[in-house]
Structure 1
């Protein structure tokens, strides 16, 4: 199924479809992440992703307008570092079907070939085994453990640090 996946930047016209998918996915995302679920949150997300240090991708299924998930490359630093951080989530109904793997592989290619990054890092809560399996299947390597790394849902949470670098 995942061979019919493409990635593209989000647009304002995605708002209604995106918000419906985010709302129906809230239980799936808890406690790992929070997708924008209101018009105000969606517009703030769009504004944030238009900044030069961020690059957002919708993971789309086939020739339809279906959005299977989202992959963001954020806090991009150029110069001698050339790195960015990944954030991603799948929408309910598309999980465990290979959509996010195909989307992540496409995002990694885009980050290394188009954005000219050297490194991508994903920080994942240790109990989020599906996310860890996803990055491991895409060639990311575990680099370490960061206690109380990110504040999610009002709590500082530990994360594993996974990364991939461009092949020279």
Structure 2
């Protein structure tokens, strides 16, 4: 089933950079992921991201390479100032991967069920971070609301305490 990405285009606008189809087609990704990366893309302007969450997206084909960990290939799409963000070539989900094996006992941490859901989730996080700045709601109320919205975007993103989003949300948002 093909998803409609109009809302993501409206949210990210001209900050999105489409990835070259000839480069992306070299990888064993599903058609939905290929379509997203080549027609929608990734945010190249991360100014809004830098104030809310430490994520850098790679839009240069030179940086988008496949790295292997324990027999699973990950197409590198960015980093979070600690781990590498990659799309698994097995299931097309996004993971935070510690290729050096020095940050935690489990070097692979689930992030989102797809790159589109990653961008939606980041947008949600940014919105709630901004909302927290001038809100009278207390932090745990905002976190509860944000978790509800993230679950609507991607049920797996908060499916356990070990997911990347669960760990990010555990950090104070105010």
Does TM, scored on the shorter chain, surpass 0.5?
no
TM-score by length of 2: 0.33
Q: Looking at secondary structure, tell me which structure has more strand per residue.
A: 1
Q: Looking at secondary structure, tell me which structure has more helix per residue.
A: 2
Q: Does 1 or 2 have the higher relative contact order (CA < 8 Å, sep 6+)?
A: 1
